[in-house]
Amino acid sequence: MKKIRLGILGIGNIGSSHAKHIVGGSCPEITLAAVCDIKPARLAWAKETLGADIPVFDDAKTMMESGLIDAVLVSVPHYDHPTYAMMAMAHGLHVLIEKPAGVYTKQVLEMNAFAAKHDVVFAIMMNQRTNPVYIRMRELVKSGRFGAIRRTNWIITDWYRSQAYYDSGDWRATWSGEGGGVLLNQCPHNLDLWQWICGMPERVSAHLHLGKWHDIEVEDDVTAYVEYANGATGVFVTTTGDAPGTNRFEVTLEHGKIVAEGGKLTTWYSEQSIPAFSAENTSPFGAPKFVVTEEDVSGEVPHHKGIMNAFAACILHGTPLYAEGTEGINGLLLSNAMHLSAWTGKTVSLSDFDHDLYYEELMKRVRGSRRKSEVKETVVSEMGGTFGS
């Protein structure tokens, strides 16, 4: 069987997990052909744990030009995702990036435009899209059976983190290290699923609390309100300070509602729409009657393995991806809009989002960050190019 020769760029916590899946046989159409990291200790770990015969590199460009790989999995810090994705594309390599797509939309738009000019498969590790609960939820919403969306609510507060978590690395929860807090670290999957299932809103207004529950400089408590084109509204609430937390995603539509909670998906459905019932009902306290159903969402959740296997299958057989790499802009635009709304105290429009203003505001915070490291805007040229870090 033909296999994709994959090089993993960055073998920290998540990169090493991906590597173990491959060498452990969970990705039958992928062979781990090389790994790259700037830390000698991680390369030593790779030799000891993954196999002494797997080539290791301490320079991304050298690995990409080695001729040993067909594709790259980018699992480096957030700011560098677009940088190395474009470097790989420029070398004719297929690319799978970790989430988020980047830190600010300006760099991700550049990456997406770059990808459009290169004939390579480009995917993003949105592994929650492999969950049958959310797959079925999307099917139901998109089917039209429940009618138009009227309201969306996601309370996703089961991301509890103690101070020890934030103290475990100087890059954590800093503007220069991660580019944000709970929205950039914990919630990219939720923001992606929210828009994947319900579509993108038109306007965002948000309140963000910086270091409310922890000694950090970025947001650890968020409440956002959104408005959709059809007049529907939505609320997104998240934090790393609640214990026990809640994970409840509810979509109210014209014919009822759909709720994902506790690994279950429950629907309330009425043949007659709520607007029609309201118009025709003559009883002051009348209410629609609903059929309540617990949907069948059984089945394996392949998570990261599923994304990697779909990536390989797309390259080898042309089958669909779970998430195109270019789709990463959507969830990031939501989080950037929440940040910008909180920073300016204004409602932010997504259709004419000011990408330059967001970048300028972010860089102000980077310059004052506890972690004093320089963040450069990525500049890429197809003629060899220079790549920021």
For 44-91, how does the pLDDT look when each residue is reduced to its tens digit (9 = 90+)?
999 999 999 999 999 999 999 999 999 999 999 999 999 999 999 999
- Give dist(CA 154, CA 137) in Å, integer: 13
pLDDT at 217 over 90: yes
- Give dist(CA 276, CA 281) in Å, integer: 8
- Give dist(CA 1, CA 376) in Å, integer: 42
DSSP calls for 109-166: HHHHHHHHTS-S-EEE--GGGG-HHHHHHHHHHHHSTT-SEEEEEEEE------HHHH
How many C-beta atoms surround the C-beta of residue 296 within 10 A?
A: 9
pLDDT at 3 over 60: yes
254 in the same domain as 152: yes
pLDDT at 293 over 80: yes
- Give dist(CA 358, CA 302) in Å, integer: 35
Q: Is residue 110 part of a domain?
A: yes
CATH number of the structural domain spanning residue 270: 3.30.360.10
Residue ending a domain, among 274, 294, 314, is 294
Sign of CA dihedral 198, 204, 206, 208: positive
pLDDT of residue 381: 35
* High-pLDDT (> 90) share of the chain, %: 93
State the pLDDT confidence band at 372, using cuts at 50, 70 and 90.
Answer: low
pLDDT at 336 over 90: yes
pLDDT at 377 over 50: no
Q: CA-CA distances (angstroms) from residue 300 to 69, 117, 130, 214?
A: 30, 36, 9, 36
Composition of the chain by helix, strand, coil, percent to 5: 35, 20, 40
182 in the same domain as 39: no
* High-pLDDT (> 70) share of the chain, %: 95
319 in the same domain as 282: no
Of the listed ranges 165-179, 216-230, 315-329, 331-345, the one predicted with least confidence: 165-179
pLDDT of residue 213: 98
pLDDT of residue 370: 87
Q: CA-CA distances (angstroms) from residue 157 to 57, 129, 222, 278, 387?
A: 39, 19, 10, 34, 37
220 in the same domain as 153: yes
State the pLDDT confidence band at 387, using cuts at 50, 70 and 90.
Answer: very low
Name the average pLDDT for the chain. 95
pLDDT at 379 over 60: no
Cα dihedral 343, 349, 355, 358, rounded to 10, equals: 0
111 in the same domain as 154: no
118 in the same domain as 202: no
pLDDT at 386 over 90: no
17 SS3 class: helix
Q: Is residue 379 part of a domain?
A: no
pLDDT at 374 over 80: no
State the pLDDT confidence band at 383, using cuts at 50, 70 and 90.
Answer: very low
pLDDT at 388 over 50: no
CATH number of the structural domain spanning residue 22: 3.40.50.720
Q: Is residue 352 part of a domain?
A: no
The residue among 251, 211, 203 whose CA lies nearest residue 231 is: 203
Query: What domain range is 109 assigned to?
Result: 4-127+303-324
User: Token match 């400089």: residue?
Assistant: 217
13 in the same domain as 114: yes
DSSP state of 181: S
98 in the same domain as 194: no
Contact 83, 389 (CB under 8 A): yes
pLDDT of residue 373: 58
Q: What is the mean pLDDT of residues 247-252?
A: 98
Q: Is residue 283 part of a domain?
A: yes
- Give dist(CA 174, CA 375) in Å, integer: 12
Which residue type occupies 336?
A: N
pLDDT at 131 over 60: yes
Q: What is the mean pLDDT of residues 241-258?
A: 98
Q: CA-CA distances (angstroms) from residue 378 to 274, 381, 386?
A: 50, 10, 8
pLDDT of residue 1: 73
Q: Is residue 202 part of a domain?
A: yes
Q: Is residue 262 part of a domain?
A: yes
148 in the same domain as 83: no
259 in the same domain as 153: yes
pLDDT at 385 over 80: no
DSSP calls for 55-110: -EES-HHHHHTSSS-SEEEE-S-GGGHHHHHHHHHHTT-EEEEPSSS-SSHHHHHH
Residue ending a domain, among 256, 272, 294, is 294
DSSP state of 321: P
351 SS3 class: coil
DSSP calls for 337-349: HHHHHHHHTS-EE
Q: Is residue 349 part of a domain?
A: no
Provide the number of structural domains found in the chain. Answer: 2
- Give dist(CA 104, CA 377) in Å, integer: 10
pLDDT at 376 over 70: no
- Give dist(CA 121, CA 89) in Å, integer: 9
Return all residues near 210 (Cβ < 8 A) that are at least 6 apart.
Answer: 181, 216, 217, 218, 219, 220
Residue ending a domain, among 275, 294, 313, is 294
pLDDT of residue 380: 36
The residue among 117, 120, 68 whose CA lies nearest residue 94 is: 120
Return all residues near 108 (Cβ < 8 A) that are at least 6 apart.
Answer: 82, 101, 102, 328, 329, 332
263 in the same domain as 227: yes
Q: Is residue 278 part of a domain?
A: yes
174 in the same domain as 115: no
pLDDT of residue 389: 28
pLDDT tens figures, 352-366: 999 999 999 999 999
User: Token match 């990808």: residue?
Assistant: 115
Q: What is the mean pLDDT of residues 141-152?
A: 98
Which residue type occupies 133?
A: V
Q: Which two tokens stand for residue 208?
A: 């963000």
Q: What is the mean pLDDT of residues 333-341?
A: 98
